Amino acid sequence: MRVVIAEDNALLREGLVLLLTSAGHEVVAVAATGPEVLPALLEHRPDVAVLDVRMPPGFRDEGLRAALEARREVRGLPVLVLSQYVEETYAAELLGDDVAGVGYLLKDRVGRVDEFLDALERVAAGGMALDPEVVTELMSRRRRDDPVEQLTPREREVLHLMAEGRDNTTIATTLCVTERSVSKHIGNVFLKLGLPPQSDSGHRRVLAVLTYLNSPSTKS
């Protein structure tokens, strides 16, 4: 894969370059400041971009802004965003209404090489990869009348894993159940969230995840 890396920390940036090249990927450009990111993405149009949320000069949300702008300019550009902490507002804004080709991981996940590379490849293929801590944080503010509250604990576990971008086989293995059971739970999730059966299952899967992640919450 062709990858663009945007990270201001030189040690982490070079570590990512070494990690990705060692795994057989090509790093076509690196960016160390916010203003460098969008031009690099538009010039190289990589298979996937790995971006820090906060970058110079403001150390606020420069990387995230570049990712959002790039996805508007290059529709569907896969982006994997890295953050030091779970930043709920940034994660929700990145997800928006399109979770295809999007990832949001905490930086310590990079040290788990296999998990990081798996997430990167999943995002590049148009899938989704969310850090479990990000999913938990996003869901901590659901309102009591959230339709997700209608789900059983097991259905919620299945939907949680769907939100991390896991396929049915992986969900079955993780929960130690059969794929048939997983399919049944997913069908119940669709029904309880009011997702129309006339939609294809892939579309309903995305809608279920969006309902899970972007359901109304009480603002503090």
Question: DSSP for 177-205?
Answer: --HHHHHHHHHHHHHHTT--TTS-HHHHH
Q: The domain that contains 54 carries what CATH number?
A: 3.40.50.2300
| Residue 220 in domain | no
- pTM for the model stands at 0.65
Helix (H, G, I), strand (E, B) or coil at 128: strand
Tally Cβ neighbours within 10 Å of residue 76. Answer: 10
Verify that 124 and 145 share a domain, yes or no: no
Verify that 6 and 103 share a domain, yes or no: yes
Verify that 95 and 9 share a domain, yes or no: yes
Verify that 117 and 84 share a domain, yes or no: yes
Counted domains in the chain: 2
Verify that 17 and 72 share a domain, yes or no: yes
Verify that 100 and 171 share a domain, yes or no: no
Verify that 88 and 193 share a domain, yes or no: no
Give the list of residues 6+ apart from residue 183 with CB closer than 8 angstroms, or none: 168
Verify that 110 and 165 share a domain, yes or no: no
| Residue 83 in domain | yes
pLDDT tens, per residue, the chain with 220 residues: 999 999 999 999 999 999 999 999 999 999 999 899 999 999 999 999 999 988 998 888 888 888 888 888 888 899 999 988 777 666 767 776 567 898 989 888 888 899 999 999 999 999 888 888 777 766 655 444 577 778 899 999 999 999 888 999 999 999 999 999 999 999 999 988 888 665 566 778 888 888 887 655 323 3
Reading the block at residue 21, the tokens are 């090249």
Last residue of a domain, one of 129, 154, 173: 129
Question: How many CA atoms lie within 13 Å of 128's alpha carbon, on the beta-carbon side?
Answer: 27
Q: The domain that contains 182 carries what CATH number?
A: 1.10.10.10
Domain span including residue 183 = 141-214
Verify that 86 and 115 share a domain, yes or no: yes
From residue 129, give the alpha-carbon distance in Å to each of 32, 34, 45, 150. Answer: 24, 23, 20, 25
| Residue 63 in domain | yes
Helix (H, G, I), strand (E, B) or coil at 102: strand
Verify that 47 and 120 share a domain, yes or no: yes
CA angle, residues 122, 14, 115, in degrees to nearest 5: 30
Tally Cβ neighbours within 10 Å of residue 80. Answer: 23
